[in-house]
Structure 1
């Protein structure tokens, strides 16, 4: 049997593609093409940082939750999201070892604004309905995205996603519970939910990223599909979201803020107004409503808790 070391670059690539096409799982110590490694690092780092930054909008509502029951629920959710972030950064860190980089470098990339996080977590959470909508629809969108990668060719990521997706289901149910209570409440509460939906709808559509035709050159989604990290395109995932949640939203007597929205019976998909992708690019460049405030909060927290990392390093050594 020919070893990897004895193979040419082309032979290694051919062998690698045969492995992932047969359903084999790539591990951290296995040979992998540089494009595959870099694609994974960017994807998993962004995912992990988005979990951490995604805890901040709901963290703002922990002291303002309307009851002790709701306070405990949202505190548990925030804790879960931070745990997801730490788990994913460890997965990314293993991939970065050949470059001598660690999780600390990922955090510095965030603080230097070289690493982006999901557009939805740059938005304001003005009311309790916003906190509920994040759990119900943002986490619902995340579940659709993440279950699409449960069979990812990179084994450690696929394994981490199994735990994350299971917990995200509870998060979505938690958010749905909040929205249901408000939608069945007073007229003021119902209006609060409608206002939140109006403000968050474009961001929800942007969550999945632009269609391939809105990008130039080879897109990130093409690389992830090529290497069997995920199965579906951004647009296919967005359609799955619409198929699942539009009937549920309408069942609560809510109005979706899109006059063009309708179901095409012939093509069997929802026709909707594309969000402003120029605005999307501006938001993920950290020019969103709460981008800098949340980055500054994360920076100060990281600096103030440096002593904890130092103490733990001393214990390990």
Structure 2
């Protein structure tokens, strides 16, 4: 007699699930999944989603101040893309939080209350046009390394969303390169502006990938994500890739990286760098960075001002359902 999946014990369901993971099968929203897998997905994708939305805000500040119409149109398009990425990812999360009786509104309220974290880099100020260049070139470059690493994630809906996001992010990287090259080849004042932005952002770029994984414990978020193949590389592996890719390019532009200890060790084939202040990192990602309150407040005001749109859509949906029934 054939036994249905629902008749299996929890251990048998888990073993079957892990077999699917090991066989590189894609898990869908309607599939059975362990509770810690679901929670890991919610934590990972919700943070990614709100980081896309909050990440648009430092560059949004430069839309009205861009030096040329061409630059204004380019940065406007980039901001629009980032907001779209956030909405796409929050839609993916919605399917995961439905069993808990939650929806997108709960995610945003968690953001407003600082319960939900977003990337440390988006808590930082962007006082010059050079900051807009560094964000678009190096911050987006770091994001691309992370996102392409997760393209083959075990969770199907996330992987499909990332495919579109990565394609658009490649255009953002070109935009960043263009801004950076123009400033690097510009007047001494423009190059000084670019160097100042690099000085401000360097530590944030190092902490972008998060602290080193506690592989020996098997309990860190990164290790859970590796176990379930939500990601394939550790934070440190990504940081090393970033340094290998961008340090030569930064130096080629004649810029100085603000770390006297930075060097490549031929023996270990690794970059050595000054360890960033991880205590300060935790303070920032907890919603206590230089621009945290201002940017969360701006996002909250925008959400409140658009309430009438959501109300109108709800009325329309109710009318349609009544007409269909």
Shorter-chain TM-score above 0.5: yes
- Quick one: distance in 2 between partners of 1:167 and 1:283? 28
Q: What is the CA-CA distance between 1:71 and the residue it aligns to?
A: 0.1
Segments of 5+ residues of structure 2 without an aligned counterpart are 319-325
Matches within 5 A, 1:253-264: 253-264=254-265
User: For residues 42-88 of structure 1, what are the alpha-carbon distances to aligned partners after superposition, in whole Å with 9 as ceiling and x for unaligned?
Assistant: 11000000000000000000000000000000000000000000000
Q: Which SS does the other structure have where 2:39 is aligned?
A: helix
> How big is the alpha-carbon RMSD for the aligned residues of Structure 1 and Structure 2?
1.2
- Quick one: distance in 1 between partners of 2:275 and 2:3? 51
Q: What is the CA-CA distance between 1:20 and the residue it aligns to?
A: 1.1
Question: 1:183 aligned to 2:184?
Answer: yes
Q: TM-score under structure 2 normalisation?
A: 0.96
Matches within 5 A, 1:217-232: 218-232=219-233
Judged with a 3 Å threshold, the aligned counterparts in structure 2 of structure 1 residues 127 and 216 are, in CA distance, closer, same or farther, namely farther
Question: 1:35 aligned to 2:41?
Answer: no
- The aligned residue for residue 93 of structure 1 is 94
- Quick one: distance in 2 between partners of 1:165 and 1:316? 33
Question: In the comparison of the two structures, how many residue pairs are matched?
Answer: 317
- The aligned residue for residue 238 of structure 1 is 239
Q: What is the CA-CA distance between 1:214 and the residue it aligns to?
A: 11
Q: Tell whether the 8 Å contact from 2:59 to 2:75 is kept in structure 1 after alignment.
A: yes
User: For residues 219-249 of structure 1, what are the alpha-carbon distances to aligned partners after superposition, in whole Å with 9 as ceiling and x for unaligned?
Assistant: 1000100000000000000001001000110
- The aligned residue for residue 277 of structure 1 is 278
- The aligned residue for residue 80 of structure 2 is 79
User: For residues 24-57 of structure 1, what are the alpha-carbon distances to aligned partners after superposition, in whole Å with 9 as ceiling and x for unaligned?
Assistant: 0000000000000000001100000000000000
Q: Which of structure 1's runs of 4+ aligned residues deviate more than 3 A?
A: 213-217
Judged with a 3 Å threshold, the aligned counterparts in structure 2 of structure 1 residues 215 and 202 are, in CA distance, closer, same or farther, namely farther
Q: Which SS does the other structure have where 2:264 is aligned?
A: strand
Q: Which SS does the other structure have where 2:301 is aligned?
A: helix
Q: What is the CA-CA distance between 1:212 and the residue it aligns to?
A: 2.0
- Quick one: distance in 2 between partners of 1:213 and 1:127? 37
- The aligned residue for residue 323 of structure 2 is none
- Quick one: distance in 1 between partners of 2:126 and 2:216? 29
- Quick one: distance in 2 between partners of 1:215 and 1:59? 42
Matches within 5 A, 1:127-276: 127-213=128-214, 218-276=219-277
Q: Which SS does the other structure have where 2:271 is aligned?
A: strand
Q: Which SS does the other structure have where 2:230 is aligned?
A: coil
